[in-house]
């Protein structure tokens, strides 16, 4: 019997996988992120970070802040629910091998403006081996889709964005 895609890949062993520096640099160059939502003090890509995602400052409702989120896989649903609740503008990254799951269908798709699927799999830092077993996607709210990356953008809704 072959193992199917049952959505069980959100395991704690993947919680500390970090955004690759090359991808981060391209994205930060475009978006100028102010806050790294799910980082630790040791792996934050921004000056401001939060060890506990549920204590994001209310100031993030201000549209001058642009947030980045690479959520711990084991808490992905909770992280995305909170991200869409408190972040005014931002980009997140998440696995996209199971778009039929309730996380994608009930939380991500209804709340994001676009989903960008890179042409190749992302090789996260802190992961042993080459590449990931699954594809990843970038997810945006109230910011334009990424520029200079190979892939395809699915536009879901637009909040008066201009490229």
pLDDT, tens digit, for every residue of 116-136? 999 988 877 765 655 567 789
The model's pTM is: 0.79
Write the DSSP string, 9-72: T--GGGTTPBPPHHHHHHHHHHH---EETT--TTT-SSSEE-SSGGG--GGGGSTT--EEE---
Triad 113, 116, 122: Cα angle to 5°: 140
Expressed as residue numbers, the domain containing 53 is 14-155
**Would you say 114 and 145 are in contact if contact means Cβ atoms under 8 Å apart?**
yes
Report the percent of the chain where pLDDT is more than 70. Answer: 69
CATH number at residue 59: 3.40.50
Domain count, the chain: 1
| Residue 19 located in a structural domain | yes
| Residue 94 located in a structural domain | yes
| Residue 21 located in a structural domain | yes
| Residue 3 located in a structural domain | no
| Residue 69 located in a structural domain | yes
């Amino acid at each position: 019997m072959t193992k199917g895609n049952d959505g069980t890949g959100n395991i704690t062993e993947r919680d500390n996988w970090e955004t690759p520096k090359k991808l981060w640099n391209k994205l930060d160059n475009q978006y100028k992120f102010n806050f790294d939502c799910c980082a630790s003090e040791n792996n934050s890509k921004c000056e401001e970070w939060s060890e506990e995602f549920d204590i994001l400052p209310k100031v993030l409702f201000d549209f001058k802040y642009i947030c980045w989120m690479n959520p711990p896989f084991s808490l992905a649903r909770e992280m995305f629910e909170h991200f869409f609740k408190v972040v005014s503008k931002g980009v997140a990254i998440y696995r996209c091998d199971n778009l039929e799951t309730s996380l994608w269908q009930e939380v991500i798709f209804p709340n994001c403006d676009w989903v960008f699927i890179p042409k190749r799999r992302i090789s996260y830092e802190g992961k042993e081996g080459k590449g990931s077993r699954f594809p990843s996607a970038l997810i945006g709210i109230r910011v334009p889709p990424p520029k200079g990356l190979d892939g395809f953008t699915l536009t879901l809704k637009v909040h008066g964005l201009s490229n």
